[in-house]
Amino acid sequence: MKTIYTLEEIKELSNISGALREELLTYFEEIAKGIAEKEWQAYNLDEVGPILVIEEDDTIDVLDECGLMQGSKNIPQALPEFALKVIVGGIEMLKIIWVCNDSFGLSVYYPVGKFGKEFDEFIEEYIME
Which has the closest alpha carbon to 53: 23, 74, 79? 23
pLDDT at residue 129, as a whole number: 78
> pTM, whole model, 2 decimals?
0.92
* Domain containing residue 18: 2-128
> Max Cα separation, the chain?
43
Could you give the number of structural domains in the chain? 1
Which has the closest alpha carbon to 86: 15, 20, 10, 7? 20
Extract the residue ranges of the chain whose pLDDT is less than 70: none
**In angstroms, rounded to a whole number, what is the distance separating the alpha carbons of residues 95 and 31?**
14
8: part of which helix (H) or strand (E)?
helix 7-12
